[in-house]
C-alpha cells in the first residue's frame, strides 16, 4: 500500500474535464463542518502533473478538496499515483460511479471520458466504441445499449441539453425526447 502524503492545497489542481459537479449546497456545508471537526478521513487520490515536479492533479476527492479549501486547510492527505492521464481518467470514473447522488449528465460525461481513455490506451479493437463500451458495461453494471445512450447525451444540442438538465426529462426511459445532435464535438461541460 502506498503511503499517505500531506500535500499543500496550493499544489493541487482539479482533473481537467472531470464530469462530476462540485456544488456549494447543504451536503457541501455538512462536509465542510465534518472536515473542520474531524479532518479529512479518506485521503484524496492524486497524480503528479507531467509538466511540473511539485504539482498534482486530483483523481478522486474533488469534493473533499473543495471542502478543505472552504474549511481553510493548508494541506490534505493524499495517495500519490504516478500514472498517465488515460489511466487517471479511468480511475476517476470508476472511483465516482458508486456515489449515491450522481446526475445522468455526470454519468454521460464520465462514460465518454472513460471510453476516450480506453480508446487512447488502445483498448478499442474496432472502429468506434464497441469494445470500450463493452468493457465499461461490465464494470458499470449497465447494458452496452445504456452506455451508448449516456454517451449520446454528450452530443445533445445546447437547446436540448439546457431543457434536459433543467428537469425536462431526467428519466433514461424518456430519452426518446426530441434529440437534435450537434457536430461530434458536442457541448461543453461547463
In angstroms, the Cα distances linking 120 to 53, 96, 98, 124, 147 are: 25, 21, 24, 8, 18
Of all residues in the chain, the percent with pLDDT exceeding 90 is 32
pLDDT at 80: 94
Residue 25 main-chain phi, psi, to 5 deg: -130, -165
pLDDT at 132: 74
Residue with more model confidence, 101 or 44: 44
* Integer Rg of the chain from CA: 18
Domain count, the chain: 2
55 falls within a domain: yes
Residue with more model confidence, 74 or 134: 74
Of all residues in the chain, the percent with pLDDT exceeding 70 is 75
Determine the structural domain holding residue 146 and report its residue range: 101-174
- Reply yes or no on whether the pLDDT at 45 is more than 90: yes
- 123 neighbors 165 (Cβ within 8 angstroms): no
Q: Are strands 56-60 and 44-48 parallel, antiparallel or unpaired?
A: antiparallel
- Range from 10-24, 55-69, 122-136, 164-178 carrying the lowest mean pLDDT: 164-178
CATH of the domain at 13: 3.90.1530.10
Residue 13 main-chain phi, psi, to 5 deg: -130, 150
Q: Tell the residue number behind the cell numbers 499543500, with chain if given.
A: 8
- Reply yes or no on whether the pLDDT at 156 is more than 80: no
What is the average pLDDT score of the chain? 79
pLDDT at 190: 42
- Give the model's confidence band at 22: pLDDT under 50 very low, under 70 low, under 90 confident, else very high: confident
Domain C-terminal end among 17, 51, 82: 82
Residue with more model confidence, 172 or 131: 131
145 falls within a domain: yes
Separation of alpha carbons 82 and 71, rounded Å: 28
Separation of alpha carbons 92 and 62, rounded Å: 10
Q: Computed from CA positions of residues 138, 141, 147, 149, in that sequence, does the dihedral angle turn out positive or negative? A: positive
Average pLDDT over residues 130-147: 78
- 94 neighbors 19 (Cβ within 8 angstroms): no
187 falls within a domain: no
Same domain, 12 and 41: yes
Average pLDDT over residues 151-178: 62
41 falls within a domain: yes
Separation of alpha carbons 124 and 161, rounded Å: 28
Average pLDDT over residues 109-121: 81
Amino acid at each position: 500500500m502506498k503511503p499517505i502524503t500531506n500535500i499543500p492545497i496550493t499544489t493541487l489542481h482539479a482533473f481537467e474535464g472531470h464530469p462530476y459537479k462540485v456544488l456549494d449546497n447543504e451536503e457541501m456545508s455538512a462536509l465542510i463542518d465534518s472536515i473542520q471537526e474531524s479532518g479529512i478521513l479518506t485521503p484524496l487520490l492524486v497524480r503528479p502533473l507531467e509538466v511540473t515536479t511539485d504539482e498534482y492533479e486530483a483523481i478522486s476527492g474533488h469534493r473533499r478538496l473543495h471542502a478543505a479549501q472552504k474549511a481553510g486547510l493548508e494541506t490534505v492527505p493524499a495517495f500519490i499515483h504516478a500514472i498517465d492521464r488515460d489511466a487517471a481518467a479511468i480511475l476517476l470514473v470508476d472511483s465516482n460511479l458508486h456515489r449515491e447522488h450522481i446526475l445522468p449528465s455526470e454519468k454521460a460525461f464520465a462514460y465518454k471520458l472513460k471510453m476516450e481513455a480506453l480508446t487512447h490506451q488502445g483498448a478499442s479493437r474496432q472502429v468506434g466504441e464497441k469494445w470500450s463500451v463493452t468493457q465499461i458495461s461490465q464494470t458499470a453494471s449497465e447494458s452496452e445499449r445504456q452506455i451508448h445512450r449516456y454517451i449520446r447525451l454528450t452530443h445533445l444540442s445546447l437547446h436540448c441539453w439546457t431543457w434536459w438538465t433543467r428537469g425536462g426529462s431526467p428519466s433514461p426511459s424518456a430519452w426518446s425526447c426530441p434529440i437534435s445532435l450537434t457536430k461530434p464535438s458536442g457541448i461543453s461541460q461547463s
